[in-house]
Structure 1
Amino acid sequence: MSIYKRYFRITAGPVVDEINRLHALRVVAGAQYMALAEKHGALTANNYDHSGTFAGFTFKESPDKSIYRLFQKHRLWVPRKTGAGKAIWAEINAIEAPKPIDKALLLVDLYPGAPSLMEAGRWYAPTVWGYYAPINIWFVSVPWKDVDPAELAQYKLDREAGAHRDCTLDHLIWEAPADWTEVKGWQIEKESEEINESLKK
């Protein structure tokens, strides 16, 4: 059976609490990166979208190239690893780097960024996305495929007995928390469109 996605909608509970905690840390780190930007004459300090960690500075004009180099991929300036740039990196690294919000899924035994299922040379992992407080609505996608329930039941027994473990079946015996609501993909799309429209008003 081919891999598909199961979708869940969550608005409260440990995962949402952890997302909000990680986001708050990201906001604090962002403010600290901006303070460094001002200190060193930059216009802004940019963060990586996924992790929230430091990505680079923007300047009104090209900065001193003996201190900074242009990171071509993102068109941002980053300090060099030597000389005066090394000291700036020390300041950047002294800021506690936030973890990506998808790490909140670890609380319910889902592993973002790691293959849960594989098929035809591709791997699939759980993801989370949504809207921060005050909306506080989050959606989780979990890769899935159908397996004979009898096979899963036997696997659980074998696993408890200490028999050889199977990563695929380990994932497929996962159960969603009781307070998660399973929904269809189209429901998420519809709700997301409605929320995005309301945010424009």
Structure 2
Amino acid sequence: MSVYYRYFKVLDAATTQAIESLVDQRNQYQQSIHEISKAVGASDTYFYDRAHGFAGFGFSETPDKTLWRKIKGGDIFYPKKSSKAGKALANRIEALSRPKSVHTALSTAGIETGPFGVLMDGLRCYSATVCGSQKKGWFAVIPWMDIDPRLLEEYRAERASGISGNGNYEHLLWTPPEEWVEVKKWEVERAIEGVEL
């Protein structure tokens, strides 16, 4: 059973609103961090790719080592909490409300994106994701695998009687909202070309 992906155009109001709300929250968070960046004289601001949380600042020249600590693996600096000014700055950053991942909006459509994704194949975990934009539309990318329908029906009966639980089978019982339209991968790629989420 190999894993592949199904692609959907998200057209229901609840999921669309949830996605746009999370994108707006993330943008507000990043704008607040950029304002702090300007105030401290940083030349760059870095965020984690998946969680979108603050990772650190970049400077054109090495900053004051009493206020900043260098993060391993690059020229990224974070306020040093062992100094009074660094601790105050770190507290200011950490007090900002860090948004949830935009992918959590899929919970409105019945997909819970936990720490181990929605589907596992051996030691590999696969997550459902969101991509797109307000202008070109939102898409859900859902990992999937084909299994014998009899196994799913057996699992459904076992689950109903409280005997069994299986994350993969739970996910494979999911059905998309009726407003969603299944599309081809190339349609998603064409729609999101040049778009950063």
* TM-score, with length taken from structure 1: 0.84
Q: Which residue of 1 aligns with 2:173?
A: 173
Query: How many residues get paired?
Result: 193
Superposition pairs of residues 41-60 of structure 1, within 5 angstroms? 41-60=41-60
Amino acid at match of 1:98: P
Larger deviation, residues 167-176 vs 146-155:
146-155
Superposition pairs of residues 1-201 of structure 1, within 5 angstroms? 1-83=1-83, 84-112=85-113, 113-131=115-133, 133=134, 135-193=135-193, 196=194
Amino acid at match of 2:183: V
SS of the residue 2:147 aligns to: coil
- CA-to-partner distance for each residue in 1:41-76, whole Å, 9 max, x for gaps? 323433323333212122232210111022243522
SS of the residue 1:98 aligns to: coil
- CA-to-partner distance for each residue in 1:94-136, whole Å, 9 max, x for gaps? 11111111111122232334233222432222122112x2x15
SS of the residue 2:32 aligns to: helix
Do 1:111 and 1:125's aligned partners in 2 also have CA atoms closer than 8 Å? no
Which whole-Å CA distance do the structure 2 matches of 1:155 and 1:188 have between them? 33
Which whole-Å CA distance do the structure 2 matches of 1:53 and 1:37 have between them? 14
Unaligned runs of 5+ in 2: none
Is the alpha carbon distance of 1:167 and 1:52 closer, same or farther for their aligned partners in structure 2, counting shifts above 3 Å? closer
Name the Cα RMSD after superposition.
2.1
Larger deviation, residues 42-51 vs 167-176:
42-51
Is the alpha carbon distance of 1:190 and 1:93 closer, same or farther for their aligned partners in structure 2, counting shifts above 3 Å? closer
Larger deviation, residues 75-84 vs 119-128:
119-128
Is the alpha carbon distance of 1:49 and 1:3 closer, same or farther for their aligned partners in structure 2, counting shifts above 3 Å? closer
Do 1:67 and 1:85's aligned partners in 2 also have CA atoms closer than 8 Å? yes
Amino acid at match of 2:86: G
Amino acid at match of 2:166: D
* TM-score, with length taken from structure 2: 0.86
Which whole-Å CA distance do the structure 1 matches of 2:138 and 2:79 have between them? 36
- CA-to-partner distance for each residue in 1:157-197, whole Å, 9 max, x for gaps? 3322222212221111111111111112233234444xx4x
Deviation at 1:39, TM superposition (A): 2.6
